Amino acid sequence: MNVMQPIDRIRGGVHENERHESGHKHVSGTAEYIDDIPEPQGTLHGYLGLSQRAHADILSIDFEAVNASEGVIGVLTAADIPGENDISPAHKHDEPIFVTDKVEFHGQPIFAVVATSREAARRAAAKVKIEYRDLPHVTDVLEAAAANYPLVIDPLKLERGDIDAGFAKAKNILEGEMRIGGQDHFYLEGQISFAIPGEDDEVLVYSSTQHPAETQHMVATVLGVPSNAVTVNVRRMGGGFGGKETQANIFAAVAAVAAKKYRCPVKVRPDRDDDMSATGKRHDFHVDYKLGFDDEGHIEAVDAVFSARCGYSADLSGPVTDRALFHADNCYFYPNVRLRSRPLKTNTVSNTAFRGFGGPQGMVGGERMIEDIAYAIGKDPLEIRKLNFYGGEGRNLTPYHQTVEDNIIGRIIEELETSADYAKRREAVIAFNRESNVVKRGIALTPVKFGISFTKTEYNQAGALVHVYTDGSIHLNHGGTEMGQGLYTKVAQVVADEFQVDLDRIKVTATTTGKVPNTSATAASSGSDLNGMAAANAAQQIKERLVKFAAERWNVAEADVAFEPNVVRIGAERLSFNEFIKIAYGARIQLSAAGFYKTPKIHWNRAEGRGRPFFYYAYGASCSEVSVDTLTGEYQVDRTDILHDVGRSLNPALDLGQVEGAFVQGMGWLTTEELWWDAKGRLRTHAPSTYKIPLASDRPRVFNTRLAEWSVNREETIRRSKAVGEPPFMLGISVLEALSMAAASVAEYRIAPRLDAPATPERVLMAIERLRAAARQKG
Amino acid sequence: MTIQIRNTIRFILNHRLVELADVSPVQTLLDFLRIDRNLKGTKEGCAEGDCGACTVLIGRLLDGKLKYESVNACIRFVGSLDGCHIVTVDSLAQPAGPLHPVQQAMVDTHASQCGFCTPGFVMSLYGLWMENSKPSIAEIEKALQGNLCRCTGYAAIIRAAEAISTIGDIGKDPLVAERDRIAGELAALQDGRRVEIGSETERFILPGSVDDFAAVLEANPKATIVAGSTDVGLWVTKFMRDISPVIHLTHLEELRRITVDADGVTLGAGVSYAEAYPVIVAHFPELTELWDRIGGQQVRNMGTVGGNIANGSPIGDTPPALIALGAAITLRKGDRRRTVVLEDFFIAYGKQDREPGEFVESVRIPFVSDKARVAVYKVTKRLDEDITAVCGGFNIAFEAGRVSDAIIAFGGMAATPKRAAHVEAVLKGAEWNEETIERAVAAFDQDFTPLTDWRASAEYRQLVAKNLLRRFYLETQSSGGQLRLDRTIAVAV
């Protein structure tokens, strides 16, 4: 038996800057996305036919020209759906795959063409003749309220303290409103599904989905078969951001229905324009608020209504609008508070999950209130922020009655203030603005506190499947999906660390409903927290068996068996991991385990608006400085400094990428990304030519991002790390506020600029004009 | 003259010569790569040339010299590629071999997340590296204007771009090391023949010379002329229009000529934005920023000034500037040529002064007199790779403190690129001071009633147009302070 020389540590364990497991494949074009999977002979292609009206009765549909079009195999309508014509994730039965007699938004699917090529299907779909009878439509959230449009789901109310007493006590009361725009996900890989029919009722669906288990369930429901007949598989997505949490389902369902009907593989991939017209986005919000505060800027009372453009159906609008309320406090203690959501129906595509899931909109609303106080009493908004942070006796209870126990925002802000040289630069900005007439500058430092866990408690569970093969290589599968965030890499690092083997021993395989069942969406930043724990649990089960076996076989105490780097130490003896595994196999030790995890401590009672919906909070802060051209409203971000908390990072390099990417995406949401509907209710910004996400040249001219390396999650999360997907998205708020300050400079910072989002150059210029006019009036 | 005709197209795809006889005029390079050739490394993100996921390099000859340029495969027609070398991401590294330095740099700096845009970034950076192995941050950003990434926030990609030369030596790159051999192979494909493929509704032609082009167009007056396909590509991928018969200008090196004489510059109608760039920068430095902000690098490599004019868009990038400069175009039909002052070419929305069978042959841009001051301002929602909300071109001449002449043209303010005649009238002869400017600003309301759309509201457009004149004025004054955003702010480590 060999005596192995011990090495220090394994390659690619936790807390290492390991590269993305698919990095080399991304750069060489060999990473396989669904559209790259070799198509079996006879593969057909489906293409959706979309409504050309925002709200109308369908009087007749003529498919003659469609059917006569070259390459067409057939047309699918609601009548071709064997099971239920519904994919509502809220189980409200309000989301048909194909509408029958009435369309409720411009771009709503009515039918699908199946043809021998995608091109043929697409050209044929355009040849349909549909007779409509128009009905009045509403696309805007305030118009929907005025028109008494219904709510798509029950609203939420959070209440604490005595709101009336709070306002009665407050020396200053201020009312305001704000519009916050939506956002398209603009995942680079569009929606796509590829279904291959199997025997009996079976079907295999490759779907670019963040939620394979729900896609499986929806496909089964639509086909009218049990879930065990449907397997959903996803190796990776070309971006998700929430846009493939529920929005992938229709494409999967249509591909599956067509595959079963025609007994051929069927792929469905919409053009980018149709993808952007027919799938949901981030909710636009209107915030109506009333604030009470004292002369120093301490908040006494907050009363706010968050109205959201939900679109025609419920989808995830309930939990999205809930999460807006959960984050309207951001880092601030509201002594007396009432927050209400108003999830309004509109004749637009049904809005859905998007990184932050309503949280960003709630937080922007909360930060707007802070800004208003600051301009009202003539102070730096950062001062008002600090005055109102959670912390101190009786100042730790959120509007939803969860106690903030892990608050580190004070230290984050303090460190960032110093490293970004905030105070001095703010003075310099004010000095610059005094001298400069055309270009004006602004600077803002804003905090983030984001609650981690699905607010739907049952989603906070995960499974994993780990096999150790007789050659010592390890197969890892878990319920999370890879959309670029590096989840597969991180979970593999966890498993490598558990077994103490080099990372290259571990292969993460495509997420599939056949290996790990009943999984949750890879969403709510939960991927590593949940799946990392489940995978660790599976590895631990195998390890326990191995330890027990080794102790018995070598006659040592279990405590004398240890997994050391690539080696198993038994008493004084050291065996290579491979060798040991071979022996264990020979002794008939089970080398496979299904792991499981559920988040502890959390509970939530929506009806009462009370509970502990979040296991913990992630924190961060950013400081942005901007220059604004006051003749055109054009601007640039001159510098951004970020300090962000990811607990004890599983992979600092990947986490840094998440933080940088999220910041730029958040900045895009609040600046140039504008959704624009015309009078006919048609979205006109439905392609990159008209919908402008940030470019390389839009990122801050100076961009300093750091992780708070000292932070350790006080809760027992996987290796004390924290979730990273969503929280840094809200770091982008500092850009919006810096733009506000630049605008405010034209009125000597005495008037709240009330810049709506997205702050396009047009909105910035119009705010400047408004402020100039107001300043002239004020004298 | 007997015209010799070939009924196939030939190009080099990565390492192999391809000859095709059966090609649809609407066949895009992207679909050809992915569907016909099973080369799946190149991705479709938008199918309209705006996201860059489909970026490939095209090598083509001009005067025997081979140059590789990044292009968007999604809106490039296969028919236009006769005689070219197509380089896709699939060819950069051998299956079991080491990664290409550009690829390795991207991996080392964690520059890919979801990976879908990544092949496009690799190709854009490769194209840049070949031209400029030690690019500045500004040069990197410019090369990446046509590539969207939704995951990384770009910081890591910029770090990758800076690291490439520390990993590899550009001199050892296969395309650089073997340039002469490849140029020779491409030259051997140039037989001067007219290429004709297909018939009736599925037909395209590559004329062998400009004279041949004139003859072919006269015989097919309804043909769709395709230069860079940055516009026509979308007619196909987005509107599914039938465009047959198509005439590709691929072989017309004569149309890619640039002539500089004592009085001005003449650009052949097939000169791409990228090819025109050095001349524009040298002779019309006031247009540099505008030129840097036309589309992304791929679009600047494909699109032509002639095409930008000929398609008549009211929001085209170059017309406001060129009108202000007093540019004129030469139109040709058969052997007959006529010259039209550019502003007169644009008659109404979608209507230009171009007869059936006639084509834009060249654009003449006269030098500016020493007495004049020129400025061009393009205003967009996003600074780079965006379509004009308002674009103003100013050419104002002074004599003894008064305006001796003024040409002011705007895009985005009317159904065509249009001069601000009333504004000009107020300025002409007037003293150059604030009071004159404010009188001229008022005249904008007589010149323009812009539209509201997704790019900007009518109110914003009108206000910005006025403010651009104010900016022009401020820039003639010595003490205006900082008047424009400082895009050159150094990027710190």
pLDDT in tens, B137-165: 999 999 999 999 999 999 999 999 999 99
Q: Which of B89, B108, B150 sits opposite A186 (nearest CB)?
A: B150
| Cα separations in angstroms, B400 against A10, A403, A593, B352, B429 | 79, 75, 90, 39, 10
The alpha carbon dihedral of A140, A146, A148, A154 has a sign of: positive
Q: Strands of B402-411's sheet, edge to edge?
A: B372-379, B390-399, B402-411, B418-419
User: First-to-last CA distance in chain B?
Assistant: 64
Peptide bond into B245 cis (omega under 30): yes
How far apart are the CA of B41 and the nearest CA of chain A, in angstroms?
Answer: 4
Would you say A483 and A448 are in contact if contact means Cβ atoms under 8 Å apart?
no
Nearest alpha carbon to residue A455 among A359, A366, A535, A537 = A359
The Cα of B475 is separated from the nearest Cα of chain A by a number of Å equal to 11
| Cβ contact B150–A696 (<8 Å) | no
pLDDT in tens, A504-555: 999 999 999 999 999 999 999 999 999 999 999 999 999 999 999 999 999 9
> For residue B411, what is the enclosing H or E element?
strand B402-411
Cβ-Cβ pairs closer than 8 A, A with B, add up to 284
Which chain B residues are within 8 Å of A122, Cβ to Cβ? 240
- Chain A positions touching B106 (Cβ under 8 A) are 23, 26-27
Cβ <8 Å between B141 and A693: no
| Residue B202: how many other CB atoms lie within 10 Å | 17
Select the residue from A35, A70, A116, A188 to test the B interface by mutation, using most B Cβ atoms within 10 A: A188
Residues of chain A with Cβ-Cβ distance to B467 below 8 Å are: 631-632
Please determine, for residue B480, whether its predicted confidence score (pLDDT) is greater than 70. no
Q: Provide the pLDDT for residue B1.
A: 57
In chain B, how many H helices and how many E strands? 18, 21
Answer yes or no: do A695 and B453 touch at CB < 8 A. no
Residues of chain B positioned with their CB less than 8 A from the CB of A235:
none
Q: A33: closest CA among A219, A233, A247?
A: A233
* CB of A73 closer than 8 Å to CB of A116: yes
Query: According to the model, what pLDDT value does residue A5 have?
Result: 57
C-alpha dist (Å) from residue B461 to B377, B392, B483: 13, 11, 19
Q: What is the chain A residue with the closest CA to B150?
A: A187
- Whether A315 shows a pLDDT value over 90: the answer reads yes
Are A221 and A88 spatial neighbours (Cβ–Cβ below 8 Å)?
no
Mean pLDDT score of chain B: 96
> What's the mean pLDDT in A582-594?
98
Structure tokens given for A337:
């508070």
Of A654, A672, A705, the CB nearest to B382: A672
Whether A6 has a pLDDT exceeding 70, the answer reads no
State the pLDDT at residue A465. Answer: 98
Task: Determine how many CB atoms are found less than 10 A away from the CB of residue A770.
Answer: 17
Structure token digits, residue A80? 């071709």
Summarize chain A as % helix, strand, coil (round to 5).
Answer: 35, 25, 40
Three-class SS of residue A176?
strand
* pLDDT tens by residue, A361-413: 999 999 999 999 999 999 999 999 999 999 989 999 999 999 999 999 999 99
Which of 3.30.360.10, 3.10.20.30, 2.70.170.10, 3.30.930.10 is the CATH number of B5-90+179-248? 3.10.20.30
DSSP type of residue A617: E
**Could you tell me the domains of chain A?**
23-30+461-598 (3.30.365.10), 43-136+191-269 (3.90.1170.50), 285-455+606-778 (3.30.365.10)
User: Pairing state of beta strands A336-345 and A129-134?
Assistant: unpaired
pLDDT at B95: 78
AA identity, residue A481: T
Q: In terms of CA atoms, which chain A residue is nearest residue B100?
A: A28
Structure tokens at B88: 């896709």
Asked if B148 lies within 8 A of A187 by C-beta distance, the reply is no
pLDDT band at A628 (very low <50, low <70, confident <90, very high): very high
Q: What ranges do the domains of chain B cover?
A: 5-90+179-248, 101-172, 254-366, 372-476
Q: Does the pLDDT of residue B492 top 50, yes or no?
A: no
| pLDDT for residue B94 | 81
Q: What percent of chain A has pLDDT over 70?
A: 99
A688–B457 CB contact, under 8 Å: no
Q: Which DSSP letter does residue B35 get?
A: I
DSSP code for A151: B
Backbone angles phi, psi at A392, to 5 degrees: 95, 170
Question: Averaged over A274-282, what is the pLDDT?
Answer: 98
Please tell me which of the candidates B53, B141, B148 has its beta carbon nearest to residue A693. Answer: B148
Tell me the CATH class for B101-172.
mainly alpha
Q: With a cut of 70, say whether residue A3 has pLDDT above it.
A: no
| CB neighbour list of residue A773: distance below 8 Å, 6 or more residues apart | none
The whole-angstrom distance between A626's CA and the closest CA on chain B is: 10
Pairwise CB contact (< 8 Å): B114 & A703: no
Residue B331 has pLDDT above 50, yes or no: yes
A6/A122 Cα distance (integer angstroms) = 62
What is the model's pLDDT at position B200?
84
Side chain identity at residue A690, one-letter code: T
CA distance B304 to chain A (A): 18
Interchain contact, A660 vs B156, CB within 8 Å: yes
- Express each pLDDT in B217-263 by its tens digit: 999 999 999 999 999 999 999 999 999 999 999 999 999 999 999 99
Instruction: Give residue A1's pLDDT band: very low, low, confident or very high (50, 70, 90).
Output: very low
State the pLDDT confidence band at B444, using cuts at 50, 70 and 90. very high
**In this complex, which of B112, B148, B238 lies closest to A20 when CB atoms are compared?**
B112
Report the alpha-carbon distance of residue B384 to residue B142 in Å, rounded: 9
Chain A residues in contact with B315 by the CB 8 A cut-off are none
Q: In chain A, what residues touch B152 (CB-CB under 8 Å)? A: 657, 660-661, 664
- Residue B296's nearest CA partner among B29, B55, B89, B117 is B55
What was the pLDDT predicted at B490?
60
Tell me whether residues B157 and A35 touch, CB distance under 8 A.
no
Q: Of A399, A238, A240, A257, which Cα lies nearest the Cα of A329?
A: A399
Tell me if the bond preceding B119 is cis, omega within 30° of 0. Answer: no
Shortest distance between the Cα of A746 and any Cα of chain B, in A, equals: 15
Residue B379: its chain A contacts at CB < 8 A?
632, 634, 761
- Nearest 5°: CA angle at A545, between A540 and A551? 120
* β partners of residue B374: B395
Instruction: Write out chain B residues lying below 8 Å of A438, CB-based.
Output: 471, 474, 480-484
The one-letter amino acid code at B401 reads G
Which of B89, B410, B485, B487 to mutate against chain A (most A CBs within 10 Å)?
A: B485
Least CB-CB distance to B155: which of A185, A271, A703?
A: A703
List CB contacts (< 8 A) between A24 and chain B. Answer: 99, 103, 107
**Residues A695, B487: C-beta atoms closer than 8 Å:** no
Query: Average pLDDT for residues A671-678, to the nearest whole number?
Result: 98
CATH topology (fold) of B254-366? 3.30.465
Which pLDDT tens digit goes with each residue over B44-74? 999 999 999 999 999 999 999 999 999 999 9
User: How high is the pLDDT of residue A262?
Assistant: 98
SS3 A627: strand
Nearest to B14 by CA among B70, B67, B78, B90: B90
| Separation in Å, CA A728 to CA A323, A523, A538, A706, B19 | 16, 15, 30, 12, 51
Record: contact A238-B115, CB cut-off 8 A: yes
B50:A689 CB<8 A: yes
Residues of chain A with pLDDT > 90, as a percent, come to: 98
Q: Of B99, B116, B492, which is closest to A702 when you measure between CB atoms?
A: B492
- Hey, are the CB atoms on A632 and B384 less than 8 Å from each other? no
Name the packing angle between helices A409-419 and A422-435 (round to 10°).
Answer: 50
- A701 and B489 within 8 Å at the Cβ level: the answer is yes
Of B51, B92, B490, which is closest to A688 when you measure between CB atoms?
B51
Alpha-carbon distance B95 to A79, whole Å? Answer: 48
pLDDT band at B481 (very low <50, low <70, confident <90, very high): confident
What pLDDT sits at residue B88?
Answer: 98
Token pair 């050659």 is found at: A471
**Could you list the active site residues of A?**
726
Quick one: average pLDDT of B332-344? 97
Nearest Cα residue in chain B from A236: B114
Say yes or no: ipTM exceeds 0.95. Answer: yes
**Which H or E run includes B394?**
strand B390-399
Q: Do A35 and B456 touch (CB under 8 A)?
A: no
Out of 1.10.10.10, 3.30.390.50, 3.30.1330.100, 3.40.309.10, which CATH number does the structure's domain B372-476 have? Answer: 3.30.390.50
A725/chain B closest Cα distance in angstroms: 11
Smallest Cβ–Cβ distance between A760 and the set B92, B381, B480 belongs to B381
Sign of the CA dihedral running A58, A62, A67, A73: positive
The total of other beta-carbon atoms located within 10 Å of residue B13's CB is 21
| Residue B420 · residue B410 · CB < 8 Å | yes
Nearest CA in chain B to A487: B113
CB atoms within 10 A of CB B188: 11
- Give A-chain residues touching B102 at CB under 8 angstroms: 27
Is there a contact between B45 and A236 if contact means CB atoms under 8 Å apart?
no
In the three-class reduction of DSSP (H, G, I as helix; E, B as strand; rest coil), residue A546 is classed as helix
Token pair 């038994």 is found at: A570
C-alpha–C-alpha distance, residues B248 and B195, integer Å: 10
pLDDT in tens, B456-472: 999 999 999 999 999 99
Q: Are A441 and A627 in contact (CB under 8 A)?
A: yes
Distance CA B138, CA A316 (A): 42
Give chain A's mean pLDDT.
97
Sequence-ordered list of residues with C-beta below 8 angstroms from that of A89, at least 6 positions apart, any chain: A95, A214, A218, A246, A249, A315, A316
pLDDT of residue A2: 47
Tokens matching residue A160: 């604490």
